[in-house]
Chain A
Amino acid sequence: MKRQWLVPVCGAAVLAVLGVVIGEFWVKVATEAVIMVLFAASFSILYGQTGLLSFGQGAYFAVGAYGFALSMTKLDLPFPVCLIAGVVSATLWAWLTGYLCVRLAGIYFAIMTVVVAQSTFYMIFQGYGITGGDNGIQGLIPPPVLQNSRVYYYFTLIIVAGAYYAYYRIVQSPFGLSLRSIRENSVRARFVGIDVRRHTLKAFVLSGMLAGLSGALFAPFTRTVVPQMADWMASGKAVFMGILGGAAHIFGPVLGAVVWVFLDAVVSGFSVHWPLIIGLLVFFIVFFMPGGVMGLVASYAGKRHFEQEEGQPS
């Protein structure tokens, strides 16, 4: 049991030290990577654990971000309350839309999530009285103590670490096991007595919560929110990150988010053809590395924890 903690603890140590030693630009990149870990996790809990492919996580990310933004600009609430407001609004939105989505499966679920994401986008876009429409909302400045990018990095690191620990505990729990059994064979899960619809709704709401927290942390980081955070292409980021890291693996989201954000930063430094490169990378992963990076690592290490079961979600 101790060995499995080696990698994450080392990783955490590296991340902790990183904030001090690396340059300003890379601290910002690292902060974005850390925030995106939760976004990737929100996808993974649905796809990797429950077998539901969702192209709509951007909706909850955006609601979290806008919840934060509106609390700060329209209601003048203090910073921590704004963060909580963002998470709560995303969770509510996930609960409402999830109630409709979990009644479907497979491709219909995927399409419904796309519809939800685009609907969210349009609602934000059209509501320019409240949301600023296409202009988004600017000027989301964190309190003075957090305005230093290194301090903000450690701030997000702590929050994300806490949230991820909760994610870890949830995945390892009997609830997580139920989700995986739903992924493997939802009919059989029902026979065994698992209430599939309630479990998937809970997973959906949890994923919305994670995406919302990610969005709420992202808003003061970029100081701006825009409606495009909600559309399905933005949701595709979460999909790619989750798959890249290894959808079913417990630390898949971490690796996926970190690799994605750093790759984006590096590639964008010398080429504008980031979409081309990432598309080819995903091709490569789907055909040659279906378990993502963590799948590859795990198979080399020879370990086979139950959460690494690469049963293809159906």
Chain B
Amino acid sequence: MELIVSQVFSGLVRASLYFLVTSGLTLLFGVVGTLNMAHFSLYMIASYFTWTFHYCLMEYSFAVWAAFLCSAAVMAVLGLVIEKVIMRHLYERQLGDQLLTTFAMVYILDDLTKIVWGSSPLFVSRPDILTAIVGVGPVSFPASDIFVLLLGLASGIATWYLLARTRTGRILRAAYSYKEMLPALGIPIHRTYMGIFVLSVILASIAGSAWTMMGMVDLGQAHSLLIESFCVMVIGGMGSFVGTALSAVICGLTYSFAILYVPKIATLLIFALAGIILIVRPWGLMGQAGRLH
């Protein structure tokens, strides 16, 4: 029984991480129609920024929060620059050009990261509250995992609120349904696109900060999460925010239990799920039927 509880917990933590990383990407794709392959590189850069800010502010009690906020702010600015300089020119281009350009961005951003922060992994000296172990009955949960779980929930709820209850959210949802209508309604489409890109970068930043607080930042982290995130996105439905949340939970739990019983093929199981979805229902669990954007 304890095993099941702790596996469910770690599955949900993993789901939270998947969700944090993937939600930005899926929102961007849903509204704008561009798959930003460099999203994971941005997530990695955010991790590094978080490490830097945390390192500078280590003596203060608010170090963790400050690191999160500063990193999100810096990434938002970076996102603005990238949108203006690169992404803007891609909206009208073919899929091939979009994927190629963002793929080239992966190379560039990865190398820039290596130049600025070096190739060795960087370790975070976390505050005590994050290194604690919380015991509930016979099961113990690491505090940093709880932190990631809560962060994922908070981020999901905040973004949901943004999408469902605010005017900006309505505009974004309208753009997802029928983006050609926006200019017809007098809504500046470029500002909307800029906004969604910055939002996706901020979400990536939160994900990166969460990862940093788990202990270590290194150059490979983007790649390890990348493919699983693609799978999460595909299974949930590309562009669907709720779908991403749902599929993150499915994939997180699948991985967590698979690691226990069939460890060698745990990751392959997620790939297989994505493959099956792509064949049987390419628009994903919650995507709009027949919509291949």
- Minimum CB–CB distance from B220 to chain A (whole Å) comes to 11
Please tell me which stretch of B4-12, B198-206, B274-282 contacts chain A, meaning at least 4 of its Cβ atoms lie within 8 angstroms of it.
B274-282
Q: Which of A21-29, A103-111, A161-169, A218-226 makes up part of the contact surface?
A: A103-111
Q: Is the CB of B271 within 8 A of A122?
A: yes
Verify if A112 is at the interface (C-beta below 8 Å from B).
yes
Question: Please, which residue of chain B has its CB at the minimum distance from the CB of A276?
Answer: B111
CB atoms of A273 and B278 under 8 A apart:
no
B278's contact among A47, A112, A287, A314, by CB below 8 Å, is which? A112
Task: Collect the chain A residues with CB atoms within 8 Å of residue B104's CB.
Answer: 278-280, 282-283, 286
Query: Does B115 contact A123, Cβ atoms closer than 8 Å?
Result: no
Assembly CA distance A92 to B223 (angstroms): 28
Q: Is the interface of B mostly helix, strand, loop or mixed?
A: helix
Across the interface, which residues of A come within 8 angstroms of B267, CB to CB?
A: 122
Closest chain A residue to B293 by CB distance? A107
> A276-B112, A279-B104 are known contacts. Are A287 and B89 too (CB-CB below 8 A)?
yes
Is B265 at the interface (CB under 8 A from chain A)? yes
Given that A53-B95, A111-B234, A282-B104 are contacting pairs, would A123 and B279 also be in contact in the complex, using a CB cutoff of 8 Å?
no
**A-B pairs with beta carbons under 8 Å apart, 23 shown:** A53-B95, A53-B96, A100-B275, A103-B279, A106-B95, A107-B95, A107-B292, A107-B293, A108-B278, A108-B292, A114-B227, A115-B230, A115-B274, A119-B272, A126-B265, A126-B268, A243-B100, A275-B110, A276-B108, A280-B104, A283-B108, A286-B100, A287-B101
Q: Are A111 and B278 in contact (CB under 8 A)?
A: yes
Chain A residues with CB under 8 Å of B282's CB are 104, 108
B180 at the interface (CB under 8 A from A): no
- CB <8 Å contact, B275 and A112: yes
Shortest B45–chain A CB gap in Å is 14
Residue of A nearest to B97 (CB): A286
Q: How many of chain A's residues have a CB under 8 angstroms from any CB in B?
A: 40
In the complex, chain A residues whose CB is within 8 Å of the CB of B265: 126
Is A105 within 8 A of B292, CB to CB?
yes
Report if A115-B111 is in contact (Cβ < 8 Å); known contacts: A103-B279, A104-B282: no
- CB of B228, distance to nearest CB on chain A (Å): 9
In the docked arrangement, what's the CA distance between A286 and B101, Å?
A: 7
For B86, B227, B231, which residue has the most chain A Cβ atoms within 10 angstroms?
B227
Q: How many angstroms from the CA of A312 to the CA of B103 in the assembled complex?
A: 18
Known: A275-B107, A283-B104. A110 touches B275 (CB 8 A): no
Residues facing A in B215-234 (CB within 8 A) are 223, 227, 230-231, 234
In B62-107, which residues have CB < 8 Å from any A CB? 86, 89, 94-97, 99-101, 103-107
Interface positions of A from 234 to 293, Cβ below 8 Å from B:
236, 239, 243, 273, 275-276, 278-280, 282-283, 286-287, 290
Task: Give the total number of A-B pairs whose CB atoms are below 8 A apart.
Answer: 108
Taking Cβ atoms with an 8 Å cutoff, the residues of A that contact B are 47, 53, 55, 100, 103-108, 110-112, 114-116, 118-119, 122-123, 126, 232-233, 236, 239, 243, 273, 275-276, 278-280, 282-283, 286-287, 290, 312-314
Main secondary structure of the interface of A (DSSP, over half): helix
Determine the chain A residues whose CB is within 8 A of the CB of B108 once the complex forms: 275-276, 279-280, 283
Ranked nearest first, the 6 interchain pairs of A and B with the lowest CB-CB distance are A279-B107, A279-B108, A282-B104, A276-B111, A275-B111, A275-B107
**A105, A106, A118, A287 interface centre (most CB from chain B within 10 Å):** A118
Contact of A47 among B96, B271, B275 (CB under 8 A): B96
CB distance from A179 to the nearest CB of B (A): 16
Contacts of B278 in A (CB 8 A): 100, 104, 108, 111-112, 115
Closest beta carbon of chain A to B107's beta carbon, Å:
3
B274 / chain A contacts, CB cutoff of 8 Å:
111, 115
B264 located at the interface, meaning its Cβ lies under 8 Å from any Cβ of chain A in the complex: yes
B271 touches A236 (CB 8 A): no
Q: Is the CB of B231 within 8 A of A115?
A: yes
Looking at the assembled complex, report how far the CB atom of B141 sits from the nearest CB atom of chain A, in whole angstroms.
29
B249 within 8 A of A: no
Chain B residues with CB under 8 Å of A123's CB are: 268
Bound complex: CA of A290 vs CA of B96, how far in Å? Answer: 11
- CB of A115 within 8 A of CB of B293, answer no
Chain A residues within 8 Å of B245, by CB: none
**Shortest Cβ distance from residue B264 to the other chain A in the assembled complex, whole angstroms:** 5
Q: Does B210 contact A (CB under 8 A)?
A: no
Q: Which residue of B lies closest to A236 (CB)?
A: B103
* B-side contacts of A119, CB under 8 Å: 268, 271-272, 275
B17 within 8 A of A: no
Residues of chain A within 8 A of B227, CB atoms compared: 114-115, 118, 232
